Amino acid sequence: MRTKQLHTIIGTLALFTLMISLFVSCEKSQPVEDPQHFDLDVTFHTENLKDQSNKGFGFLKFRQDPDTARIITLDTYVFNLLPNHSYLLQRAANPFSDTTTCTNTSWLTLGKGLVAQDIKTDGKGDGHEELFRDVTGVPRGSAFHIDFQIVDAATMAPVLSSDCYEYIVR
């Protein structure tokens, strides 16, 4: 009788130890989001423009942190443009369901929130501005085709443009 009780206790302890070790060794981390559609590295060039005499280029570090505020940071750089001149960053977006991708011609000037902000170049034609956009009013998961352009602040003529990107509101 004692042997049977001893086997039962040992079997129960072995099962308990197995269950504890399985629980502790399980992966408990959250799945990692693919930042490909939230964080964009946008390059600006002259290839899509009629006037390609400009030798400028640029870069936009487009980031939306996974927070509740839903603020997109738009860290914008331009190079080799007119010295001591002002430019603006603009974007156009189409809903993801629109299969024509980036065909929207309604350009929105971006800046610091709702206030447009110039990107001023230095004596060499290089400029940098930290801009942002609040997308709190846009439902999470909304998907867009989006493209960007840099325009001359005085004439509103495009001087640099980007390719088409896919963006999803986080």
**Statement: residue 32 has pLDDT above 70:** no
Q: Which amino acid type is present at position 41? A: D
The model's confidence at residue 105, banded by pLDDT at 50, 70 and 90, is: confident
Asked whether residue 10 is assigned to any structural domain, the reply reads: no
- Of the pLDDT bands very low, low, confident and very high (cuts 50, 70, 90), residue 157 is very high
Q: How many domains does the chain have?
A: 1
Give the range of the structural domain holding residue 62, as residue numbers without chain letter: 35-168
Domain-embedded: residue 15 = no
Residue 20 counted as domain residue: no
52 domain residue, yes or no = yes
Using a pLDDT cut of 90, give the percent of the chain over it. 58
| 97 occurs within a structural domain | yes
pLDDT at 15 over 60: no
List the CATH number of the domain containing 156: 2.60.40.770
Q: Are 148 and 45 in contact (CB under 8 A)?
A: no
75: in domain: yes
Q: Are 121 and 83 in contact (CB under 8 A)?
A: yes
Residue that wins the pLDDT comparison between 92 and 17: 92
What average pLDDT does the structure give for the chain? 84
- In this prediction the pTM is 0.77
Strand, helix or coil for residue 146: strand
> Among candidates 84, 75, 67, 167, which has minimal Cα distance to 124?
84
* Strands in the chain per DSSP E: 40-44, 57-64, 71-79, 86-95, 108-109, 111-112, 115-116, 119-120, 127-134, 143-152, 158-161, 165-168
- What does the alpha-carbon distance between residue 165 and residue 110 come to, in Å, rounded to a whole number? 17
**Looking at residue 27, what is its pLDDT?**
45
